[in-house]
Amino acid sequence: MHFYDPANLNLRSMHIAIQANTQQKELLLQKGIPAGISVSWLVEGMALPVADAYFDFLGTDDVFATVKDQPVFINEVLRTGRQLPLNCIRVNAWNSFLERPVLEIAGEHNRAAGENILRSLNWKYQWVPDEPGFIAARIVCMIINEAYFALGQELSSKNEMDIAMKLGTNYPMGPFEWAEQIGTRRVYDLLKILEREDKRYTPSGLLEKEALQS
């Protein structure tokens, strides 16, 4: 496997550096790393290697602050590309979303380079509008919020709603299971950002209480 570098029009081996937790690393290995692509799995205290691209699935962009020219794929669901360095490409890698067969990515800059990287990795991806929450996280967080409204009205229990969601829609998780996977604080923070443009995203009082206590 070789990586096509449009900057110098040469074919060369590709090297990428990835910062990820143990679960994310396992998921990425399941997606597959083609032969010929070398990977540096970053650990705390490790010097930043020279690479063709960097992946920050932990969402700590300060680690890659010195990278100016190569693409940096960052797990950033709340902020848009306008709030990030120009070489950053947003990836939705929240818990339960990295497992999806298609990665949601966003960013207007370095698009050609980003596509070359992902095609070389044989990872399926979809460009989506550069907005908070991408598409999938917006939908899931709204579902979670509606479930919290129902819980606050004592319409059903968390367990019953989770079961109903999975049996009725064939979703992999119920709304409260999803909230636990993502983290209620992340769900709440995204809803508060989306609420600025659309009051339909106003968080449930019960969700807000749980999120701020977490």
Note the pTM of the prediction, 2 decimals.
0.88
CATH number of 3-127: 3.40.50.720
Q: How confident is the model at residue 12 (pLDDT cuts 50, 70, 90)?
A: low
User: Which conformational region is residue 206 in: left (phi greater than 0), alpha (psi within -120 to 50 degrees), or beta?
Assistant: alpha
Task: State the CATH architecture for 136-213.
Answer: Orthogonal Bundle (1.10)
Nearest alpha-carbon partner for 14 in 101, 120, 109: 120
Q: Are strands 14-19 and 37-41 parallel, antiparallel or unpaired?
A: parallel
Q: How confident is the model at residue 11 (pLDDT cuts 50, 70, 90)?
A: very low
Find where tokens 């060369």 sit. 12
| Percent of the chain with pLDDT strictly greater than 90 | 79
Q: Is the pLDDT of residue 7 over 50?
A: no
Find where tokens 């019953």 sit. 160
- Domains in the chain: boundaries: 3-127, 136-213
Q: CA–CA separation, 169 vs 184, rounded Å?
A: 22
**What's the token pair of residue 201?**
């995203």
94-139 pLDDT tens trace: 999 999 999 999 987 888 889 999 999 999 999 999 999 999 999 9
